[in-house]
Amino acid sequence: MKQIDCVVIPARGNSKRIVRKNMQPFCGIPMLERSIKLAHRLSDHVIVSSDELSMLEFAASLGAYPLVRDKALADDMTPTLPVVTHALLPFIHTDSFDESLLDFLHVNIQKTYTQDNQIQQEDFIESIKNMMQWQEDKPILHLTPHSKVLCLYATAMFATEQIILESCTLLDTNSNAAYVVAMLEASKVFRSFCLNGSGYLNFLFQDFINTRSQDLPQAFIDAGQFYLGKAESFLMQIPLLGEKSMGIKMAYAHDIDTMLDLAIAESLFKHINKDIL
């Protein structure tokens, strides 16, 4: 039996810095395809949330459930948490959730839309329904408060089955944890600085100006690969990077925001996996 009840892959279509970033080839395979295949190894239920028809068709061809992303949740300012919540809502087993949570969700969903984008959203969904029967062919999935949900980014090229399964163990053995977050070590942040109005260096952490890099305190950043949590944590809108989140350290990862980032990430990926590629 697979350990994760549901994987949600956010895959917005309107990326600005890299056109259709999620579909860009990564070592010869589209990034979204790589993430979907990883998700299938971890869960029987893989949902791809997108506002782009071609991306939804592609996800469906790979056995994922293509969920039409609300237009109100598809701009470049939308955070991850409401996107995951929107993807989970059709699958919650309402009898197992507290009524106060359901009321909370109802109120927040209403706040998501203005009259204008409600009309836009209705038109968009209607056009999709006229072409396909996805919404009627919803998979049999009943999420309870403690169901394990993985939010896996479409560009999470450095996430592995092993580290995600280790995250499952971490979540299982820490009952107070809402999420497990993939992280990277970033101790050199303690040697960071900004520039003052005259262009001179202004150290952010004065106490560490003369500290050797190997002696700096440990610090970590979000690796931008995945978040593993309980269904109720996502639905209750508990912050992904907050005091109820635990971290699991990744050895490598690389943000892909530009074509140069993509080239660097591919080079790093090939080096790490040189024995199997």
What is the number of H-type helices and E-type strands within the chain?
A: 8, 11
Residue holding tokens 């106060």? 100
Q: Which pLDDT belongs to residue 132?
A: 43
Q: And the tokens for 7?
A: 């994987």
pLDDT class for 75, splitting at 50, 70, 90?
Answer: confident
Q: Which pLDDT belongs to residue 151?
A: 99
The answer to the question of residue 39 being in a domain is: yes
pLDDT digits (tens, 9 = 90+) for 164-213: 999 999 999 999 999 999 999 999 999 999 999 999 999 999 999 999 98
Alpha-carbon separation of residue 45 from 40, 42, 102 (angstroms) = 7, 9, 23
Longest dimension (CA), the chain: 65
233 φ/ψ angles, rounded to the nearest 5 degrees: -65, -45
Beta partners for residue 68, in sequence order: 50
The answer to the question of residue 143 being in a domain is: yes
The answer to the question of residue 107 being in a domain is: yes
The answer to the question of residue 123 being in a domain is: yes
The total domain count for the chain is: 1
Look at 37 and 101; give whichever has higher pLDDT. Answer: 37
The answer to the question of residue 249 being in a domain is: no
The answer to the question of residue 128 being in a domain is: yes
Segments forming the whole domain that contains residue 138: 6-175+222-241
Whole-angstrom distance, CA of residue 47 vs CA of residue 84: 10
Q: Quick check: helix, strand or coil at residue 254?
A: coil
Beta partners for residue 178, in sequence order: none
Q: Output the domain CATH number for residue 41.
A: 3.90.550.10
pLDDT digits (tens, 9 = 90+) for 106-159: 666 555 544 445 545 555 455 444 434 444 566 788 899 999 999 999 999 999
Q: Which pLDDT belongs to residue 275?
A: 76
Q: Quick check: helix, strand or coil at residue 43?
A: coil
Q: Which pLDDT belongs to residue 112?
A: 55
Please give the model's pTM, rounded to 2 decimal places: 0.87
Q: Which pLDDT belongs to residue 136?
A: 55
Whole-angstrom distance, CA of residue 14 vs CA of residue 50: 10
The answer to the question of residue 75 being in a domain is: yes
The residue-averaged pLDDT of 255-261 equals 96
The answer to the question of residue 116 being in a domain is: yes
Q: Quick check: helix, strand or coil at residue 50?
A: strand
pLDDT digits (tens, 9 = 90+) for 9-38: 999 987 878 989 999 999 999 999 999 999
